[in-house]
Amino acid sequence: AQSVTQLDSHVSVSEGTPVLLRCNYSSSYSPSLFWYVQHPNKGLQLLLKYTSAATLVKGINGFEAEFKKSETSFHLTKPSAHMSDAAEYFCVVSEASGSARQLTFGSGTQLTVLP
Amino acid sequence: DGGITQSPKYLFRKEGQNVTLSCEQNLNHDAMYWYRQDPGQGLRLIYYSQIVNDFQKGDIAEGYSVSREKKESFPLTVTSAQKNPTAFYLCASSISGGQNQPQHFGDGTRLSIL
């Protein structure tokens, strides 16, 4: 069975400072991992994905994430926060079984960016 | 532009009434999904379809029904059997149902009870 834990339900940073959103996962197989962003009353937009290639994954809008198998983590980072980054972020794990059912969403981290 | 269109954006249901949420995609994707999102929670899978005329129950299918008569369309019906239907409903699609395929999402329908 797979699971994903987003360690912080809320994160608040000042504009121009680094962002760190933490995600730990549990998977019986080689997982694929995704980060999505959701703005209010909108759907989810893919930020980046890890699919067993390079462990450091670069995404859109300056975000990146590092897959650390020994720590079962996939934390999302950005060097400098922008006001437009304020949104909810979801970490998602997908197992190697190939079934469309095997997609598990974290409960989300709400990012607030202070001026 | 290619994408997923959900309609309506807001929907109200009376007690004992069935309502249908529309989802259309022009991405030529084979797989489509319906999720339910409640405040403070992640997304939960209601139904999914990997090919036309075939669909499977997700984790919370009770009180919901779907059809997949066309590749582009995957409507969701919230029946009167769903006792707590107030939620944000998201439709998604992917090229296939494979593990590595990211899903593309519509902008959702917010359903409320009158």
Counting Cβ atoms within 10 Å, is residue B100 exposed (0-12), middle (13-18) or buried (19+)? middle
Q: Does residue B89 belong to the interface with chain A, where contact is any CB pair within 8 Å? A: no
At residue A102, the pLDDT reads: 66
Query: DSSP letters of B81-100?
Result: T-S---EEEEEEEESSS-TT
How many residues belong to chain B? 114
Cβ neighbours of A99 in B, within 8 Å: 97
CB A59 within 8 A of CB A67: no
Q: Which two tokens stand for residue B108?
A: 């959702």
At residue B100, the pLDDT reads: 74
Cβ neighbours of B97 in A, within 8 Å: 98-100
How far apart CA A92 and CA B10 sit, in angstroms, is 27
At residue A72, the pLDDT reads: 93
How far apart CA A68 and CA A65 sit, in angstroms, is 10
- Each residue's pLDDT tens digit in chain A (115 positions)? 788 999 999 999 999 999 999 999 998 777 889 999 999 889 999 999 998 778 899 999 999 999 999 999 999 999 999 999 999 999 999 876 555 556 789 999 999 999 9
Cβ neighbours of B40 in A, within 8 Å: 9, 107-108
How far apart CA B38 and CA A96 sit, in angstroms, is 27
Q: How many CB atoms lie within 10 A of CB B7?
A: 12
Q: Does residue B27 belong to the interface with chain A, where contact is any CB pair within 8 Å? A: no
In Å, how far are A26, A32, A65, B94 from A69, measured between CA atoms? 10, 12, 13, 26
Q: Does residue B58 belong to the interface with chain A, where contact is any CB pair within 8 Å? A: yes
Backbone phi, psi, residue A84, to 5°: -70, -10
Q: pLDDT tens digits for B2-42?
A: 799 999 999 998 888 999 999 999 999 999 999 999 987 78
At residue A106, the pLDDT reads: 93
Q: Does residue B50 belong to the interface with chain A, where contact is any CB pair within 8 Å? A: yes
Q: pLDDT tens digits for B56-107?
A: 999 899 999 999 999 999 999 999 888 899 999 999 999 987 767 888 999 9
Q: Which two tokens stand for residue B47?
A: 């139904």
How far apart CA A22 and CA B107 sit, in angstroms, is 25
Of B45, B58, B108, the CB nearest to A43: B108
In 3D space, the residue among B109, B111, B103 whose CA is nearest the CA of residue B3 turns out to be B103
Q: Does residue B103 belong to the interface with chain A, where contact is any CB pair within 8 Å? A: yes
How far apart CA B105 and CA A47 sit, in angstroms, is 13
CB B29 within 8 A of CB B51: no
How far apart CA B103 and CA B86 sit, in angstroms, is 24
At residue A8, the pLDDT reads: 95
% of chain B beyond a pLDDT of 70:
98
Cβ neighbours of B33 in A, within 8 Å: 100
- A100·B56 Cβ contact <8 A: yes
